[in-house]
């Protein structure tokens, strides 16, 4: 049921992306802009599905890690993949000193886990294993594609809003009145576009993090490692900034933009204290 539900979410997100791009094209360029937007939407949907992992890794500047570079990391992930009955994912690292991690890919056979350099340096073995198990849980629960599509959608919506803003400023919005487009048609996109992008991220991220925490604790064999890691990650993300595309922020295990105060107004992640509380409850059972 979870897999089927995620398939429905995938179809919904891709359909919504298509509609939003077409409407934006109409607002910016009239009927001609709408035709161009339709082609653009088809290309984006194709690319988002088949190259979702590459898009996410590029957005976060992640680079592949070889077994020779980090044999202990490979051994740890291999054990967790065996526990979860999953194929070994590809491993990547971002140079950020902030401790964080995310998983991406279109399915378990085409999955990748990216960790930051700060994560490898700050956590002990049990905590690191808890974080990696959480990311393996995202792969097992088959929500990595949904997360990446949401990142692509958020980026597209925000970009379209910026285009509409510049077009309106320089008088390039819409066509003539017969085409039904005018400068005012772009205003909702300019104002509501960034908010819509944030709501998409919030709607995708919050519920899946609780599920990944619980599944990750089962994969690791304990919940205390992940619980302790989440508390460290929350403190560090508030103190150490990360240079990451905001459209991809919901993909990480904790919000990488916590150092920016504006990010706390509409958090894409559930409260860490509630996640930790649930994990400790699991440990006492």
277: tokens are 């509380």
- Residue 258's alpha-carbon distances to 128, 255, 266, in angstroms, are 20, 6, 11
Residues ≥6 apart with Cβ < 8 Å to 260: 241
- 234 carries an active-site annotation: no
Instruction: Give the count of beta carbons closer than 10 Å to the beta carbon of residue 51.
Output: 15
Catalytic residue among 78, 126, 129, 135: 135
Please state whether beta strands 90-94 and 63-64 pair in parallel, antiparallel, or not at all (unpaired): antiparallel
Is there a binding annotation on residue 134? yes
Task: Tell the residue number behind the tokens 């194929």, with chain if given.
Answer: 87
Helices (H) and strands (E) in the chain, counts: 9, 4
218: tokens are 């089962």
Is there a binding annotation on residue 269? no
Pick from 126, 95, 134, 138: nearest CA to 243: 95
- DSSP structural state of residue 28: H
Is there a binding annotation on residue 209? yes
Helix (H) or strand (E) holding 115: strand 111-116
265 contacts 203 by C-beta, under 8 angstroms: no
Distance CA 266, CA 283 (A): 30
Task: Tell the residue number behind the tokens 């161009």, with chain if given.
Answer: 36
Which residues are designated catalytic? Answer: 135
Residues making up the binding site: 134, 138, 209
Residues making up the binding site for Zn(2+): 134, 138, 209
């Amino acid at each position: 049921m979870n897999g089927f539900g995620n398939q429905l979410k995938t179809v919904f997100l891709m359909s919504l992306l298509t509609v939003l791009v077409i409407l934006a094209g109409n607002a910016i360029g009239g009927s001609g802009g709408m035709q161009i937007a339709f082609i653009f939407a088809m290309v984006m949907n194709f690319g988002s599905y088949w190259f979702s992992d590459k898009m996410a890794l590029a957005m976060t500047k992640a680079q592949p890690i070889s077994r020779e570079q980090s044999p202990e990391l490979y051994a740890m992930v291999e054990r967790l993949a065996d526990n979860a009955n999953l194929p070994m994912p590809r491993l990547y690292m971002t140079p950020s000193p902030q401790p964080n991690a995310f998983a991406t890919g279109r399915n378990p056979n085409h999955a990748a886990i990216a960790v930051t350099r700060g994560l490898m340096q700050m956590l002990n073995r049990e905590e690191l294993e808890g974080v990696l198990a959480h990311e393996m849980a995202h792969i097992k629960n088959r929500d990595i594609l949904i997360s990446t599509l949401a990142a692509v959608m958020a980026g597209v919506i925000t970009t379209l809003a910026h285009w509409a803003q510049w077009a309106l400023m320089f008088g390039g919005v819409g066509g003539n009145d017969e085409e039904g487009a005018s400068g005012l048609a772009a205003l909702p996109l300019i104002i509501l576009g960034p908010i819509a992008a944030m709501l998409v991220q919030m709607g995708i991220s919050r519920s899946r993090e609780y599920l990944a925490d619980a599944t990750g604790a089962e994969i690791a064999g304990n919940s205390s490692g992940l619980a302790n890691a989440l508390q460290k990650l929350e403190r560090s993300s508030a103190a150490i900034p990360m240079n990451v595309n905001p459209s991809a922020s919901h993909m990480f295990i904790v919000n990488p933009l916590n150092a920016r105060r504006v990010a706390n107004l509409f958090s894409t992640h559930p409260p860490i204290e509630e996640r930790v509380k649930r994990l400790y409850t699991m440990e006492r059972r």
